[in-house]
Amino acid sequence: MQKLKIGILISGGGSNMHSIIRACKAPNFPVEVAVVISNRPEAKGINIAKDEEVPAFIIDHKDYDDRKSFEDALHTCLTEHAVEMVCNAGFMRILTEDFVDAWLGRQINIHPSLLPSFKGLHIHERVLEAGVKITGCSVHYVDLEVDAGAIVAQAAVPVLSGDNVESLASRVLEAEHQLYPHALRMIAEKRANLVGGVVKLKNDLIAEPSLYSPTLYIQ
């Protein structure tokens, strides 16, 4: 099986990266991690990648004079490892038009909300403030507008009355760990295809009917 070679960009804990690395260990999983790159030297994810024997590099943006030279270094490292698709996983650096253009249609990201709601930062705080009862996470293509590219897959997660930012973030993160490998598999198997700015799905199944939050109950 010809596997899709991915490069994962991280900035922190790397738990999404780890879920992808774990998924890739299954012999029939159609994706392989060619390289992990962190823009932060202290990112815990770098050690996790090394422990998993995946090539892992720190490309610290602070070591470069400007965004262009930083992104050139990223680009070189990705191409040297024959990366076909870039996967941002908690990568907290805005990319310039040049880099986005170079990987257009070949770069995806995971975002901890049901896009197009709650783009940007401090998502869980804003979700709790807004009082929505269902939130979630989205895997989407990266394009020039932040958090606005074509959506590949989403998971819905209930917001519970006792939630705080930490409890909600951890429930959403658990869904992210399932969703990212699933979205990658769909792309690698060409069951999710970017056509005219929208992702078209082939053979998608409705496994769950609806998620109710709060849960329906009979008195």
- The residues carrying an active-site annotation are 111
Q: How far is the CB of 111 from ligand GAR (least distance, A)?
A: 5
| Touching ligand GAR, residues 14-73 (CB under 6 A) | 14-16, 45
Check whether the bond before 181 is cis (ω within 30° of 0). Answer: no
Stretch that binds ligand GAR, among 12-20, 53-61, 94-102, 126-134 (CB under 6 A): 12-20
Q: How far is the CB of 217 from ligand GAR (least distance, A)?
A: 30
Please, what is the Cα angle at 193 between 140 and 4, to 5 degrees? 80
State the Cα–Cα distance between residues 151 and 142, nearest whole angstrom.
9
State the Cα–Cα distance between residues 31 and 112, nearest whole angstrom.
23
| Touching ligand GAR, residues 113-172 (CB under 6 A) | none
Q: How far is the CB of 132 from ligand GAR (least distance, A)?
A: 17
Of the candidates 100, 55, 104, 63, the one whose C-alpha atom is nearest the C-alpha of residue 82 is 55
Distance of CA 122 to the CA centre of its chain: 16
Comparing CB distances to ligand GAR, the nearer of 85 and 173 is 173
State the Cα–Cα distance between residues 60 and 16, nearest whole angstrom.
20
Q: Does 111 bind ligand GAR (CB under 6 A)?
A: yes
Segments of 1-55 assigned E as strands = 4-10, 31-38
Contact mark string toward ligand GAR, 162..191, x via CB under 6 A: -----------x--x---------------
Footprint on this chain of ligand GAR (rule: CB under 6 A):
10, 12-16, 45, 89-90, 110-112, 173, 176
